Amino acid sequence: MFRYTPSLRIAIILLFCVSASAQTPSKPSHDWFLLDPETDQLQGTSVERAYNTLLKGQPSRQVVVAVVDTGVDIEHEDLKNVIWTNPGEIPGNGIDDDKNGYIDDVHGWNFIGGKNGNVTEDTGEITREYARLSKMFANVADDKVSKKQKSEFESYKKIKDKFEKQRDQHQKEYDLYRSMYSNLKMSVDTLKATLHTDTLTLAELDSFKSTNPTLAFAKGFTTHIMKQMGDDGNIDEALTELEEGVTRYKVIVEFNYNPDYDSRLIVGDNYDKINERYYGNNDVTGPDPEHGTHVSGIIGADRSNDIGIKGIADNVRIMSVRTVPPNGDERDKDVANAIRYAVDNGAKIINMSFGKSYSPGKEAVDEAVSYAEKKGVLLIHAAGNDGQDIDTQRDFPSRYTLDGKEATNWLEVGASAWGSDESFVAGFSNYGKKGVDFFAPGVEIYSTVGKNKYKNESGTSMSSPATAGVAALLMSYFPEFTPTQIRDILKKSTRKFEGMKVRRPGGGKIDFNDLSNTGGLVNAYEAVKLAMSMQLKKLEN
């Protein structure tokens, strides 16, 4: 599942107990993630500083970055000039011109679509595992399980317990959102009709008096919500956000935790054939490309068109490999094929802003990661938004293979905010002294979304492409370095914060150094400096 966080204000409305003062501190400018602490007093990636000084006037080569995600709006005003085009394919002729096995893959490929459409909703991996194991063990007593199946049976019991608890919890949340939305809408509609107005303000509600129990409830309920909304108290916005919450949990209940739903009927492949490669369609945008479009803008939104935003890399092409459903968990077969497709078609960096807790097809993904490693392609992965230590909690895909080996072409990235105080680390971000390499901006990141629009989003889904953008910048200006060397440069050049205590995601305080193996923040300026010094040493030798 993709890795950004839901609206903060929905949570505020729902919980009732959080005041406006508990919201995220005042935001800096939209481009804060490009900025620098010395020149701008913001803990961004220092990209603008690098371009304005060290890289000014320097030549670069074009680098292809694959965005393995929900799809990309390839017609977006700020992306259309940086979208990868397959030089060996003639658009729309229905022929596999370059003979790579994918017909009309002009801008990438879609592994979650078929002849008759695209996957929008899918189940979670825990649901698929529950369904698979239930067929084997649902009607089997403990004392009837063979020794050979004992281990898998124990896994089934754990998964069954976890699945049922999660499903029931989401059902409660769905019911709560529906109740909240219904009560608030009824209250707002009643008050608007009574006061003969299309809008409600706190001043109007304060002056309105009534002994009617229904009207008194409507006033009190609506007033409380409006005060929780903060400065403007826009009740229509509250209704919209609650309605979005209802829709979100409806999908979770009806699709994500529905063992009987099978999205592969849309795709049309034989899902049991884990090594099957040639399926899908060429719709790289899909029905809901918001997440993948946001990720793409961070990496490489057009820096030369004076509209929208500036991406991090200035000489990049974005290849869209649609693999992650907008709702539900990605599938290992599709992830493995997405990596292989990207590698075979010229991507040098693959961004993966998704993840999950189960990986029944991990071996296939491991083989694809190894394939990328041999072909010299760098993989960058979002650490996740569960506020957990991934050194102790399972998270997939992973740099560690089933046989214990570690991929050398992998970076795992946590999410940071713009300050340097105790709230520097995003409260949702996963971390790990061993498993996370460093942090990158991932809070309130303003980037492209569908239909020429822009939006703030938060998540390690944003910190991963921030890193991918810096990696692409390095590959572009220093083509002589291998992916492993680029990875090492990024790790060695991180900005350090000696002795800085931060809030540990999940609770308590911790030294920032203990949240990743470098104890640092991605730093484009220092990375370029280090690359230049390594380049000079090469020339001297």
Instruction: With cut-offs at 50, 70 and 90, classify the pLDDT of residue 421.
Output: confident
* Distance of alpha carbon 235 from alpha carbon 184, whole angstroms: 9
pLDDT value, residue 8 = 42
DSSP state of 373: H
Q: How far lies 410's CA from each of 129, 182, 441, in Å?
A: 27, 47, 18
Of 12-21, 58-67, 333-342, 476-485, which range is least confident?
12-21
Contact indicator for 351, 68 with CB cutoff of 8 Å? yes
pLDDT, tens digit (0-9, with 9 covering 90-100), for 113-153: 999 899 999 999 999 999 999 999 999 998 889 999 999 99
pLDDT value, residue 269 = 97
Tell me the average pLDDT across 212-237.
85
pLDDT, tens digit (0-9, with 9 covering 90-100), for 428-474: 999 999 999 999 999 999 999 999 999 999 999 999 999 999 999 99
- 46-85 b/e (C-beta count within 10 Å ≥ 16 → b): bbbbbbeebbeeeebeebbbbbbbbbbbbebbbbeebbbe
**Greater confidence, 9 or 241?**
241
Tokens matching residue 409: 């072409």
pLDDT value, residue 232 = 59
* Distance of alpha carbon 306 from alpha carbon 325, whole angstroms: 32
pLDDT, tens digit (0-9, with 9 covering 90-100), for 488-518: 999 999 999 999 999 999 899 999 999 999 9
- SS3 (DSSP) at 212: coil
Q: For 527, left (φ over 0), alpha (ψ -120 to 50), or beta?
A: alpha
Residue type, 62: Q
Instruction: With cut-offs at 50, 70 and 90, classify the pLDDT of residue 26.
Output: low
- SS3 (DSSP) at 194: helix
Please give the domain boundaries of the chain with CATH numbers for all domains: 8-122+266-540 (3.40.50.200), 125-256 (no CATH)
pLDDT value, residue 19 = 33
pLDDT, tens digit (0-9, with 9 covering 90-100), for 106-124: 999 999 999 989 999 999 9
